[in-house]
Structure 1
Amino acid sequence: MNQYLERLVEERGIESNFIDAWGKPAVISEQSKIKLLKAMGYDTENESALAEQVQQEAEEQWLTPLNPVKVSKVDEHFSFVVRVAIEHAASKHKLVIELEDGEEQVVDFVPVDNQLQASVDISDIEFQQYLVTTDMLLPLGYHALTLKRGNKKLSTGRQITVPQRCFIPNEIQAGKKIWGLSVQLYCLRSEANWGVGDFSDLANLVEQAALQGADFIGLNPIHALYPSNPDACSPYGPSSRRWLNSLYIDVTTIDTFEDEDTQAWFNSEDIQQKLSHLRSLEYIDYEGVAEVKYEALKRVFKTFKAKHLSKNTKLNKAFKAFIAEGGESLATLSICEALQETLKRDGKDHWGWPVFPDEYKDFDSPEVAKFAKKEKDLVAFYQFLQWQAAQQFEAASDKAKSSGMLLGLYRDLAVGVSEGSAEIWGNKSLYCTDASVGAPPDILGPLGQNWGLPPMDPQKLYEQAYQPIIDLFSSNMKKSGALRIDHVMALLRLWWVYRGDDAGKGGYVYYPVDDLLGILALESVRNESLVIGEDLGTVPEEIRSKLADNGMYSYRLFFFEQAQDGGFYSPSHYPVQSMCTLTTHDMPTLSGYWHCDDLALGKEVGLYPDQDVLNTLYNTRHDNKQQILNTLHGHHSISEHISRDVNHVGMTTELNYGMQTHMASGSSALLSLQLEDWLQMDKPVNIPGTFKEYPNWKRKLSRNLVDIFNDQSISNLAKAVDNRRKAASTD
């Protein structure tokens, strides 16, 4: 590896060594590191071109007087770095700080009077870098910086002042132990929905769960997916993480649904038969749901347009205000969705921007602007969908709070967006599309994982003053009592896999973790949203300590909390600052785990490299089940009617419920239980590492919502969990 490559590997945060999920040292190959640099846009195959590239980047940095952004804690004195040509180092300069509230503060300084940090020659001119310190304490927020010399504006930047920690409700800080249910929103069944769970189902769920004592409902990512490609249904491969999945809209609650023509269409025998069929299916027919629901939404929008958009009504003003607030991000998504619909209608490839006609491949092209103008009604339709989705989500959130839930709804932020997404289309320079996010081999994925999500370039994110990440945190915390950060290690490092390579041949790329955690804390405090970091898999210890120091809650999974001798830790020994759970959407249900259904399915879809690996997994599972029985009996969480010998124990209601109440006695501040386990279901919602081999993200719950909460045995379980949580709060 030549000197430029070695330098770039270090400067761009590419890791050379790491500790794998089994605690063993692992090495990233030189070839993998070179490929990751190539994905970042470097010409790794031409040394002279690479040298020129590196030199140009360095010069551009020195010729920019202010850094793009700086993140500081609220109790730190304000300081900043400035770069000037030596001929101006003794001249008076002025830094104007425009605080977020509009107030201005000014720092007058002479660069040479401050600490010299470095110097360099560019085109025979010496440039020097100074650290300017002040005794100023800036308030929380996003502040604009402008550097001037005399009346000449030299540079701009941003100062972000952040709190010490994320928001934590007073009750939880005082020791209250709470519990809630986690659910895949689309899985919900009801007599009213159209074959997929919707926001009205969510409002009903929170009301019923609150009556049982639950303090939150945890959701799968509800990010915007692909209306014109509804079978692309993974909530973890969205088109935009800032906006909502419009398929969750309950059409019947929109006032213009009552239009006479729409009602006649809705009540027709054909539509009623379709809806009845869609509700009856065990697995969601996304194509069928989308066909009926988007037709209904277009009818509703047509009436809304006639009644409001050509008139100065209150609803027209509200809609226009929503569009203005959504800005370019909303425009990008809506135009992308309109473009995909027209391409699909014309029988052309439409899955994402990589297959758009050349004139539409760049969002900011004149041709895209012309398209948006020509199809303004269609674009407005997709903006209308986001408006309705936002209102309905907010209504469900308000219902949770009015029902007495402490946290209410908590959302899940996916780790990335898919390659064809609107989010990438609108900001291509931010993403490295020749790479994908994934994970090295670990317990959940023995072959490693490639999630098909192009990563953000950390350098570009910094150059954009972190605005994309600010927007993500802010939009996902809005009207949410908590936010779960999927694969929270992404704030520290991400496993990048070069296009076409096996997942195990990737490498880690580091991100500015302290800056990102600071921004997360700022948005958490502003939105009063507790933060949970999903820290499973290959987790460096440094990230767990950083999470704790920043007020974030760890994510503790019962099946992973084992001592070296194989025994399972008592939930009473879990960190207080954590959310505990038994299983997740990427794992089998309790019944599936106990009966090894996941291993059988894994063999069926080809997840395991050979029979020896599978045999080892079966043997390990058998041992783990025995250890679980030992733990449950040792803590008197199950009765003596259940054998202490795993060879004589199948999954029963008593064992299932016993495991859940066992967790309820733990020390974690938060406990999350899955609705699937309340219903003793066996089929998983997702098998990691599969695509078409299994119907991921389609399996519904086995019962309607109304039936769940009318079941006395489930009510008894909820009461037992609630009582144990209350008892744990007073311990």
Structure 2
Amino acid sequence: QGEVFAGYLQSQIGTDTRGDGGVLTFSLPNDLALGYHKLQVLRRRRKSPYEMTLIVAPQACYKQPSIEQGNKSWGPSVQLYTLKTEHNWGIGDFGDLKQLVADIAARGGDFVGLNPIHSLFPANPEGASPYSPSSRRWLNLLYIDVFAVPEFALCSAAQERVGSNEFQQALHAVRATEWVDYSEVSRLKMSVLPLLFTEFQQRHLATNSQRAQDFAAFVAKGGNSLLHQASFDALHQQLHDKDDSVWGWQVFPVELRDINSDAVQAFIKNNQPAIQRYMYLQWIADEQIADVQKFALEQGMNMGIYRDLAVGVADSGAEVWADDGTLCQDVSIGAPPDVLGPLGQNWGLPPLNPAQLKATGYDAFIQLLRANMQHCGALRIDHVLGLLRLWWIPKGENATSGAYMYYPVQDMLSILALESQRHQCAVIGEDLGTVPDEIVSLLSDAGIHSYKVFFFETAEDGGYFSPAHYQPQSMATLCTHDMPTLRGFWHCEDLKLGQTIGLYPDQAQLNGLFDERSKSKQAILNSVSWHGKLAESVGRNADYVPMDQALSNSLQLHLAAGSSSLLSLQLEDWLAMDKPVNVPGTVDEYPNWRRKLSVTLDDMFSCPNVNYLTAELTAARAKASRE
């Protein structure tokens, strides 16, 4: 990662017969090393050369050797914040993730997938959507396992605070909630983490210890991006402490809305301890996720963690506040109108500027990939079709006023392949929805795993395609975070919830959805039964079949027998949960991104059916590898 190849790219032009203007053609060596080069073209009577970035890229993204050899892997995909343990602080953290990795590895799983763990808003913890981050290059500080921070074992002040009766009662209460209480989690963690930074200052920074030098190296590598993130978080916190309605930089005092203003530069100069504290917390988060990935590989997983890259950043966050022209702030991305959504969707995320990307040698895209491909074995790219085109909506307009803007997809796929190979990080592309024909073969040729959601893989007659017919270069899954759980789908809990919160305009549409669901359930039973994967105890008439353990296992094992090289399953379905973690199209109508798992990890892996199912999944994947 980050190699610099020194030397010259030389080419001899024998005769330049062009008149005024025209294309100058010349040759380059055909054995250039993969990576980033500077190409300079010298001309007589010109003092400085013409210069451009020359990128030499591989043809395809990285795949783990075991995947290349045809082995089939499985693992769960989790929303990290939903994990419950007896020792976390009311939210799943990197310590819980490490415990989950150990449990999955011991049962034959090869990966654990995550929601985006991008930086959100420490000053406004209720802004909890992982898909509307403040920055995609830095991490969510609430995922820090406080007990695992090295300074905690040395800090008597932190230990005394956490050990107090009042604090322990608060921890017990926040762990016991069904929904993540982000404000309380943040209050507890942010009352202790600053004490650990003070300990670090006194014990390490003051003595320039090896740990202090490691921190300095992290800060130097983070450069302006880390400085901007930490400065934003420190400034936002200071303003929010005075006025809790300050939700983003758009409502900062006018003089603080431009990172290059004298006022902001003065703030940075005069608030170094606070800024350095946020840098320290980013370093701690980075250390902890790196430790989890190292541990996963040590446990024998062939992939370890797979991370998720959100499609954009919130317009109120650090990246937009510090933007240097990389983003188009006068537009937002979204989805065009369709039959199900006649008004389209506006996601409130400013897009990357394709012209600026090319002009800067794709530096912003490269840095984004590098930040998200570290400490993991694979990266899932949300809405991977955005490498080809995005639906741009002018600021202040509805999605119906938008249009597709195209990106230099060949260049971006080449860079993606290069960074993938450098980081030994496989790539999974979330390619759901309307997929343009021109990108299907491009993604396949680039070695990007397609994303196959069982419930969407249907034929024109309503029947379900066999997972045995999925392309091997894919990840298969039953459900996603934007869908109801397996039990919720089968019992139509999502439709009932939608009716309760007013998602459907009239009863006729709702009745049609219930009828369609009934047909889908019967088609699923027919397909799974025809392929011999439906347990004998499960009836064949969907009107009388509940989603019980036997049916749930049958569906998951049906998928496990398929040809996809990767199989991702939801922990919610192992626990027969029915409440969704996210309901698309809602903001305040439903508490999205907050619903925890119903039991702790210890209790889940003490469940006989979970242990039976994971053993069967491992066996089914091994059998599929041989076929």
Say if 1:345 and 1:628 are closer, same or farther in 2 by CA, change over 3 A: same
8 A Cα contact 2:125 2:183, kept in partner: yes
1:205 to 96, 100, 104: 100
Contact 1:322 1:387 in 2 (8 A): yes
Q: Among residues 95, 119, 129, which one is paired with 1:224 in the alignment?
A: 119
- Deviation track 1:95-154 (CA, whole Å, cap 9, x = no partner) reads xxxx953421143556972778xxxxxxxxx65543433344321101123344457214
Is 1:542 matched up with 2:445? no
Partner letter of residue 452 of structure 1? G
Task: Report what 1:40 is aligned to.
Answer: none
Q: Deviations over 1:8-44 (max 9, x none)?
A: xxxxxxxxxxxxxxxxxxxxxxxxxxxxxxxxxxxxx
- Tell whether 2:524 aligns with 1:620: no
1:295-325 alpha-carbon deviations (Å, 9 max, x no partner) = 1101111111111112221111111110000
Other-structure match for 1:141:
35
Partner Cα separation in structure 2 for residue 444 and residue 551 of structure 1: 32
Q: Deviations over 1:351-408 (max 9, x none)?
A: 2222222222222233222111100000000000010000000111111111110100
Aligned to 2:318: 422
Letter in 2 for 1:293: K
Cα distance change, pair 441–649 in 1 and its aligned pair in 2 (3 A):
farther
Task: Return the alpha-carbon distance in structure 2 between the equivalents of residues 399 and 287 of structure 1.
Answer: 31
Instruction: Say if 2:5 and 2:37, in contact at 8 Å, map to a contact too.
Output: no
Secondary structure in 2 matching 1:182: strand
* Alpha-carbon shift at residue 643 of structure 1 (Å): 2.0
Counterpart residue type for residue 252 of structure 2:
F
Is contact 1:587–1:684 with CA below 8 Å preserved after alignment? yes
Secondary structure of the corresponding residue to residue 429 of structure 1: coil
Equivalent residue for 1:101? 4
Q: Is the 8 A contact 2:255 2:261 kept in 1?
A: yes
TM-score by length of 1: 0.83
Deviations 1:32-71 (A, max 9, x none): xxxxxxxxxxxxxxxxxxxxxxxxxxxxxxxxxxxxxxxx
User: Comparing 360-369 with 400-409, which one deviates more in the overlay?
Assistant: 360-369
Q: What is the total number of aligned residue pairs between the two structures? A: 624
Instruction: Judge conservation of contact 1:114–1:130 (CA < 8 Å) in 2.
Output: no
- Following the alignment from structure 2 to structure 1, what is the Cα–Cα distance between the partners of residues 315 and 25? 40
Q: Which amino acid aligns with 1:254?
A: V
Counterparts of 1:440 and 1:632 in 2: how far apart (Å)? 35
SS for the counterpart of 2:351 is coil
CA contact (8 A) 2:37 2:53 kept: yes
- State the secondary structure of the residue aligned to 1:430: coil
* Cα distance between partner residues in 2 of 1:348 and 1:694: 23
Evaluate the alpha carbon distance shift between residue 155 and residue 267 of structure 1 in structure 2; reply closer, same or farther with a 3 A threshold.
same
Q: Superposed, which structure 2 residues align to 1:407-446 within 5 Å?
A: 407-441=303-337
Q: After TM superposition, list the pairs within 5 Å mapping 1:311-330 onto structure 2.
A: 311-330=207-226
1:113 aligns to 2:16 (yes or no): yes
The answer to whether structure 1 residue 167 and structure 2 residue 50 are counterparts is no
Which residue of structure 2 aligns with residue 556 of structure 1?
452
CA distance in 2, matches of 1:591, 1:446: 29
For residues 557 and 102 of structure 1, do their structure 2 counterparts lie closer, same or farther at Cα, with a shift above 3 Å needed? Answer: closer
Cα distance in 2 between the residues matched to 1:502 and 1:601: 26
Quick one: structure 1 residues 673 and 108, their matched pair in 2 at CA, closer, same or farther if it must change by over 3 Å? closer
Is 1:246 matched with 2:141? yes
Q: 1:100 to 1:301 in 2, by over 3 A?
A: closer
Aligned equivalents of 1:608, 1:466: Cα separation in 2: 43
Q: 1:348 to 1:668 in 2, by over 3 A?
A: closer
Corresponding residue of 1:190:
85
The amino acid across from 1:601 in the alignment is L
Q: Deviations over 1:392-451 (max 9, x none)?
A: 001111111111101000000000000012112222422222322112245875653221
Whole-angstrom distance in 2 between the partners of 1:723 and 1:383: 45
Letter in 1 for 2:336: P
Q: Contact 1:576–1:669 (CA<8 Å) still a contact in 2?
A: yes
CA distance in 2, matches of 1:301, 1:275: 21
In the aligned structure 2, how far is the partner of 1:702 from the partner of 1:643?
A: 28
Query: Shift of the alpha carbon at 1:285?
Result: 0.4
Q: 1: distance between equivalents of 2:244 and 2:432?
A: 41
Other structure's SS at 1:598 match: helix
Q: Structure 1 pair 442/656, CA: closer, same or farther in 2 (3 Å)?
A: farther
Aligned pairs for 1:712-723 (under 5 A) are 712-723=608-619
Indicate whether 1:460 and 2:460 are aligned.
no
Instruction: Give SS of 1:627's match.
Output: helix
Aligned residue type for 1:113:
D
Question: Larger Cα Rg: Structure 1 or Structure 2?
Answer: 1
In 1, Cα distance between equivalents of 2:593 and 2:548: 26
Secondary structure in 2 aligned to 1:146? strand
Report if the CA contact (8 A) 1:445-1:688 is conserved: no
Identity among equivalent positions (%) equals 48
| Structure 1 residues not aligned, in runs of 5+ | 1-98, 117-125
Q: What is the root-mean-square deviation in Å for CA atoms of aligned residues?
A: 1.8
Distance 2:611 2:476 in 1: 21
Partner of 1:75: none
- Which residue of the partner structure matches residue 450 of structure 1? 346
The aligned residue for residue 529 of structure 1 is 425
Question: Secondary structure of 1:132's partner?
Answer: coil
* Equivalent of 1:393 in 267, 289, 302: 289
Match of 2:131 in 1: 236
- Contact 1:222–1:245 (8 Å) recurs in 2: yes
Equivalent residue of 1:130, what SS? Answer: coil
- Cα deviation for residue 689 of structure 1 reads 1.2
Within 1, Cα distance between the matches of 2:333 and 2:136?
16
Per-residue deviation, 1:718? 0.6
**Contact kept? 1:228, 1:337, Cα under 8 Å:** yes
Equivalent position of 1:688 in the other structure: 584
Alignment of 1:546-695 (within 5 A): 546-695=442-591
Q: What is the rounded CA distance, in whole Å, between the counterparts of 1:264 and 1:446 in structure 2? A: 57
Could you tell me whether the CA contact under 8 Å between 2:248 and 2:317 is conserved in 1?
Answer: yes
AA at the equivalent of 1:227: P
In 2, Cα distance between equivalents of 1:505 and 1:112:
52
| Number of the residue aligned with 2:172 | 276
Q: What residue in structure 1 maps to residue 158 of structure 2?
A: 262
Residue equivalent to 1:33: none
Gaps of 5+ in 2: none
Q: Is the 8 A contact 2:334 2:347 kept in 1?
A: yes
Instruction: Give the Cα–Cα distance (whole angstroms) in 2 for the partners of residues 581 and 229 of structure 1.
Output: 33
The 5-angstrom pairing of residues 17-36 of structure 1 reads none
Distance 1:166 1:115, change over 3 A: farther
Is the Cα–Cα contact under 8 Å of residues 13 and 26 in structure 2 kept in the other structure? Answer: no
Q: Distance in 1 between matches of 2:149 and 2:522?
A: 53
Q: Within 5 Å, which residues of 2 pair with 1:478-517?
A: 478-517=374-413
CA, structure 1 residues 231+526, in 2 after alignment: closer, same or farther (shift >3 Å)?
A: same
Are the aligned partners of 2:354 and 2:408 in contact in 1 as well (CA < 8 Å)? yes
CA, structure 1 residues 504+716, in 2 after alignment: closer, same or farther (shift >3 Å)? farther
